[in-house]
A = this chain, B = another copy of it.
Amino acid sequence: MSMRISELAQSTGVSLPTVKYYLREGLLPAGRATAATQADYDQTHVERLRLVRALADVGGLSLTSVRRVLQTLDAGDDQVPYAIGEAHTALGDAQSGLHADPAAPPLRAITLLQRLGWYTYDSAPALGQLEAALDAVDQVGIPPSDSVLDSYAAAALSIAETDIDGIPLDQEGAHGAGIPGGAVGFVVLATVLYEPILLALRRLAQAHVFAQRYEEPSRPGH
């Protein structure tokens, strides 16, 4: 299904100048050139473009991080045991401006994981993120108790099991042709794109629990 650049823009809702910009930035592969001023695009471009927008808008990644994720996806290294590591490396510390002192070892995070009995590999970017988050929260004066951390960890573990269960074992996944399948691809996408779902559900659950506990005839909200 061949299309021109203007159709590609139209069918994804992305403006034409932006499509050109993504091409320049290497976020979208060039079309098949048919002449000096003409190129053909197809369904893979549509899917790739939608993926870029999803990672940027929903996942909140910078275009630099999007590019890194796409590279990991394209590498197609579908060795399941490495998928998580590669996924998290691709995401890097893109998630937030958490950096603390990258030199200092994330002691509190490591201590917590040991208490939980979780496997750790020291270079995990998430360790640094966890450490920075714990530090910040302490400084603000609302340090989570160990039991709160345990609750969070238990919930995180259950989510992670759901995530891992979802990994497609057949190499080429079910998703679109513009998006490499396999374990790495799935893990990257699920990690980033299910995140906002989880966060939204947490907030909705807060409202639900709240309503239940403080049930009153009059409605909250405004």
Residue numbers of A with Cβ under 8 A of B are 47, 50-51, 53-54, 56-60, 79-85, 88, 95-98, 109, 113, 118-121, 123-127, 129-130, 132-134, 136-137, 139-142, 144-145, 148-149, 151-164, 166, 174-176, 179, 186-187, 189-191, 193-214, 216, 219-222
Contact = CB atoms under 8 A, between A and B. Distances in A.
B82 A205 contact: no
Copies of this protein, total: 2
Centre residue among A151, A201, A202, A208 by max chain B CB count within 10 A: A201
Helix, strand, loop or mixed for chain A's interface?
helix
Given A50-B139, A201-B130, A221-B124, A163 B193 contact: no
Shortest beta-carbon contacts, A-B, top 4: A141-B175, A160-B205, A156-B201, A130-B200
A204 B156 CA distance: 9
Contacts of A53: 136
A160 B202 contact: yes
B60 A121 contact: no
A184 to B, nearest CB: 12
Contacts of A193: 133, 136-137, 140, 142
B85 A196 contact: no
A139 B59 CA distance: 14
A186 B137 CA distance: 12
28 contacts: A53-B136, A60-B60, A95-B196, A95-B199, A96-B196, A119-B212, A121-B220, A127-B204, A129-B199, A136-B193, A137-B194, A140-B176, A140-B189, A144-B166, A151-B162, A152-B162, A152-B197, A153-B205, A155-B156, A155-B159, A155-B162, A155-B198, A156-B202, A159-B202, A160-B206, A163-B206, A191-B206, A195-B202
